[in-house]
Structure formats: structure tokens, C-alpha cells
């Protein structure tokens, strides 16, 4: 076993690219690539970032993490060298994944970071290259890349190499169109196995749900399912939704179709698309009004804007991305007139309970 671990660790780069190649081949062989509606801009965003990450950002940040430790805690070099391999592997992966969970979650809850993470969510179809769609600066602050440098300094080089390969398998498979969990979805007798696996690891359905355009189909969970390798953090911090189906639509609502240069280099390059979050003229401001909206609703599912930023009140238009608030899904059974809250003060929201008469915005 020791020999295998040493061999794999010594060829970690080849394994990482081998995993990419494997999923790429599966996507090509099963026709996902030929059916792809990816634009040239999509391909630019994905390839520039993949190259920037592997050739520049990861080596630079890992080096800086290492050097920072050397400067701050020089006596701690190689303290983990004597740690058993499996303990080191678990330590590396758990800290790495915990850091990435919170960084990823912050990228959905803070507007400035959301704009760097947004390219990851403008993809309207999944695929292995979606893994690398970000603004180029997004990875500079990613704490788990710093953790790689720190862990190397502490003497964890071997578990780190193996950990990166295991992470790569989960990350690529959770973005890929080659969804291995579909095998279980079609075989009810095997579902108990999947139900155990998904409580530990991120499955394709779990992560595809995160890339859904909205949660209106009751499958998507774009403001949750933040985990990278393990689903334990989502379960611990209340952001997990397990679904055994795949979303009907991917992307972000009302995507203004920004040029790829704005996606990759914002704020150095801004978008010229009206209303885009990446444009200079973009205003992030409340659109709440006191008076409720009275309207006839047909039976069906709706998303009520709870954040107060939608330009299509009282319904969600996706403006809540970059805040901690998410829309409220509600269903209507009977066609008739409804009074929907627009002051965002009603306890019975989405329905008006006349709070606007007694409270102030
Ligand atoms: S725009 Fe979606 S909750 Fe307000």
C-alpha cells in the first residue's frame, strides 16, 4: 500500500490531468460535447481560467502560503511529518473542504465576491469545464489554496498530493454531465447505498442542484449545496437539499449575456450590457414599496422576492444573488386575486398581512 501511495503521490499532476481527460472522453463519447450549445465566450472563460489556475494562481498562492508560514512560524516546519498518512490525509481534506465551503458560501452571500464567482453560474449547461469558470481574481483569495502552501510547510506533502487527486475526482464528477448517480436513481433497490454516499460526499445531483437557475422546480438549490467534496458542512450549517433528479434549467435568471472579458476581468473590464451587475451603471438598491400588489394568480409555483432588490416586485428576478436572503417558493392551487406583500415586513409573506399599515420600511 505504501508503495502505491508513494507512486501515486509522485505522479499527482499526471493523475489530476488523467481525471480531467477521463471525464472529457466520457463526455465526448456520450455525445455531450457535440450537443453542447456553449458559446465561444463560454469556452474562453473556461479555458483562460483553467490555464490561469494551474499555471499561475495555484503555484503562486501555494508558494506565498508556504513563505508566509516560514516567516511567521519557522519552528513549525515539518511538524506533521511523523503523523500517520491516513490521519494527515483526513486532516488535509477536512480543513481544505471546510475552508472552501465557507469561501464558496461567502461568494453567494457578499456582492463583491459574488461578481467574481458569477461566471461559474452563468453556464446554462453543466460539464467538466464548468469547474473552472470564475473571474481570474477569485482563486487568489481562495483560502484552501493558501492551506495547500501551509500544509506543505507543515510537512504534509504526501497526504496533500493524494488529497488533491481525491478532490479532483469528486469536483469534476459533480460538474460533469457523466452523472454516475443516475445509475442509482434508475435502480430503487440500490438507492439506500446512494443515500449513505450522498450524506458524506458531493454527488452530481447535489451539485447540479446548486447550479440550477432557481428553486422553482423544487429540485434546484442555488442558494445552498455549497460543499465541494463533502456534504457534511451543508448538513451541519443548514444549506443542504438532497434531490434525486436534475434541474430543468441552469444559469442565472435574466442573464444579460455579458462579454467574456467582463466575466473574467471584472472590475478591470466592465460590461456594457444594460442592467448587468458587472456594468458601471449597476445600482444595487431596494425596490420595496409599502403598498401590496393585488393580482390574479393562476395555479402553479412562484418565487416571491424576500430580499427587496428585485426589479420585478413582488417576484424574484435573481437580484438576491450576493446577499444572504433567498426567495420564497410558494404554490397557488386556485386561480383568484391575491394581495402580495411588497413592504417585506409581513410575517405571512408572500401574502400581505397589512403590516405596511403599522410598520415602516
Ligand atoms: S430578487 Fe430573489 S429574493 Fe429578491
Sign (positive or negative) of CA dihedral 79, 154, 233, 203: negative
Which atom of ligand 1 approaches the CA of 317 most closely? 1
Q: What is the reported pLDDT for 361? A: 62
Report d(CA 271, CA 257) in Å as an integer. 9
Q: What is the reported pLDDT for 18? A: 87
* pLDDT one-digit tens code per residue, 250-295: 999 999 999 999 999 999 999 999 889 999 999 889 999 999 999 9
Q: What is the reported pLDDT for 28? A: 86
* pLDDT one-digit tens code per residue, 335-348: 999 999 999 999 88
Mutate-to-test residue for ligand 1 from 327, 330, 343, highest number of ligand atoms within 8 A of CB: 327
* pLDDT one-digit tens code per residue, 173-198: 999 998 999 999 999 999 999 999 99
Ligand 1 binding pocket includes 349 (Cβ within 6 Å): no
Mean pLDDT of 297-310: 96
Q: How many angstroms does the Cα of residue 5 sit away from the middle of ligand 1?
A: 48
Residue 361 CB contacts under 8 Å (≥ 6 apart), including other chains: 286, 288, 290, 343, 344, 345
Q: With 90 as the cut, is the pLDDT of residue 219 above it?
A: yes
Q: What is the reported pLDDT for 274? A: 87
Stronger pLDDT, 291 or 33, i.e. the higher one:
291
Instruction: Extract the C-alpha cell encoding 142.
Output: 481562495
Q: With 80 as the cut, is the pLDDT of residue 306 above it?
A: yes
Q: How many angstroms does the Cα of residue 334 sit away from the middle of ligand 1?
A: 24
Mean pLDDT of 105-125: 96
Q: How many angstroms does the Cα of residue 232 sit away from the middle of ligand 1?
A: 27
Asked if residues 311 and 318 have their Cβ atoms less than 8 Å apart, the reply is no
Stronger pLDDT, 36 or 215, i.e. the higher one:
215
Nearest to 211 by CA among 219, 143, 22: 219
Does pTM surpass 0.85? yes
Q: How many angstroms does the Cα of residue 305 sit away from the middle of ligand 1?
A: 4
Strongest mean pLDDT among 23-37, 45-59, 200-214: 200-214
Ligand 1 binding pocket includes 222 (Cβ within 6 Å): no
Q: What is the reported pLDDT for 3? A: 75
- Percent of the chain at pLDDT above 90? 81
Mean pLDDT of 289-317: 95
Ligand 1 binding pocket includes 307 (Cβ within 6 Å): yes
Nearest residue (by CA) to ligand 1, atom 2, is 316
* pLDDT one-digit tens code per residue, 119-163: 999 999 999 889 989 999 999 999 999 999 999 999 998 999 999
Q: How many angstroms does the Cα of residue 319 sit away from the middle of ligand 1?
A: 5
Mean pLDDT over the full length of the chain = 93
Mean pLDDT of 319-345: 95
Amino acid at each position: 500500500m505504501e508503495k502505491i501511495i508513494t507512486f501515486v503521490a509522485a505522479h499527482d499532476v499526471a493523475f489530476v490531468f488523467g481525471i480531467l481527460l477521463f471525464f472529457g472522453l466520457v463526455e465526448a463519447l456520450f455525445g455531450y460535447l457535440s450537443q453542447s450549445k456553449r458559446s465561444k465566450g463560454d469556452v474562453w472563460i473556461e479555458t483562460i481560467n483553467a490555464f490561469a489556475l494551474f499555471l499561475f494562481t495555484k503555484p503562486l498562492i501555494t508558494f506565498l502560503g508556504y513563505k508566509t508560514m516560514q516567516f511567521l512560524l519557522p519552528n513549525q516546519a515539518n511538524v506533521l511529518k511523523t503523523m500517520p498518512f491516513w490521519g494527515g490525509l483526513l486532516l488535509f481534506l477536512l480543513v481544505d473542504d471546510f475552508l472552501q465551503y465557507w469561501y464558496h458560501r461567502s461568494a453567494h452571500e457578499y456582492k463583491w465576491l459574488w461578481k467574481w464567482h458569477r461566471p461559474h453560474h452563468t453556464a446554462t449547461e453543466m460539464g467538466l469545464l464548468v469547474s473552472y469558470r470564475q473571474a481570474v481574481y477569485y482563486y487568489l483569495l481562495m483560502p484552501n489554496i493558501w492551506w495547500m502552501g501551509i500544509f506543505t510547510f507543515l510537512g504534509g506533502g504526501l497526504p496533500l498530493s493524494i488529497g488533491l487527486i481525491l478532490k479532483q475526482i469528486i469536483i469534476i464528477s459533480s460538474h460533469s454531465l457523466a452523472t454516475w448517480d443516475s445509475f442509482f436513481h434508475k435502480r430503487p433497490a440500490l438507492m439506500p447505498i446512494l443515500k449513505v454516499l450522498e450524506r458524506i460526499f458531493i454527488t452530481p445531483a447535489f451539485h447540479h442542484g446548486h447550479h440550477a437557475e432557481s428553486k422553482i422546480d423544487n429540485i434546484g438549490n442555488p442558494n445552498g449545496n455549497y460543499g465541494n467534496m463533502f456534504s457534511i458542512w451543508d448538513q451541519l450549517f443548514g444549506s443542504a437539499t438532497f434531490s434525486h433528479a436534475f434541474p430543468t434549467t441552469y444559469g442565472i435568471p435574466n442573464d444579460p449575456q455579458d462579454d467574456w472579458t467582463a466575466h473574467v476581468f471584472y472590475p478591470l473590464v466592465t460590461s456594457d450590457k444594460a442592467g448587468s451587475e458587472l456594468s458601471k451603471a449597476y445600482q444595487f438598491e431596494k425596490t420595496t414599496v409599502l403598498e401590496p400588489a393585488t393580482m390574479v394568480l393562476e395555479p402553479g409555483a412562484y418565487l416571491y422576492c424576500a430580499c427587496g432588490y428585485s426589479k420585478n416586485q413582488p417576484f424574484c428576478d435573481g437580484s438576491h444573488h450576493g446577499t444572504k436572503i433567498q426567495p420564497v417558493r410558494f404554490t397557488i392551487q386556485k386561480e383568484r386575486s391575491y394581495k402580495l406583500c411588497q413592504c417585506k415586513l409581513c410575517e405571512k409573506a408572500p401574502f400581505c398581512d397589512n403590516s405596511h399599515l403599522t410598520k415602516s420600511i
